[in-house]
Amino acid sequence: MWHQIIAAPILCASNVCIHALGTYANLLWILRALKQRNSVALSRALWIMLRLVLVLLFLHALEVAVWAQFYVW
């Protein structure tokens, strides 16, 4: 039981780190892309939003995999 009590905060912290670092890296990319041009065309804006959503979905899948591995353990 103590193993689970010790592992739970580590598991939560790892998920927070995965999400925070992934989101931070993605937002940096978006800011760089927006600074390149004063005005953003609709197609470029849609691509930026699509990439944001896809990266967030990937990050969530990675977090689910971490939780699943914890449950297997």
Q: SS3 sequence, 5-57?
A: HHHHHHHHHHHHHHHHHHHHHHHHHHHHHHHCCCCCCHHHHHHHHHHHHHHHH
Amino acid 7: pLDDT: 85
User: How far is Cα of residue 12 from the mean position of the Cα atoms in its chain?
Assistant: 14
* pLDDT tens profile 30-69: 888 888 876 778 888 888 889 999 999 999 999 999 999 9
Task: Give me the residue label for tokens 């979905």.
Answer: 57
Domain-located, residue 59: yes
Domain-located, residue 63: yes
- What are the φ and ψ backbone dihedral angles of 57, each rounded to 5 degrees? -65, -40
Provide the domain limits for residue 31: 19-72
Domain-located, residue 5: no
The count of structural domains within the chain is: 1
pTM of the entire structure?
Answer: 0.77
Domain-located, residue 3: no
Domain-located, residue 36: yes
Domain-located, residue 48: yes
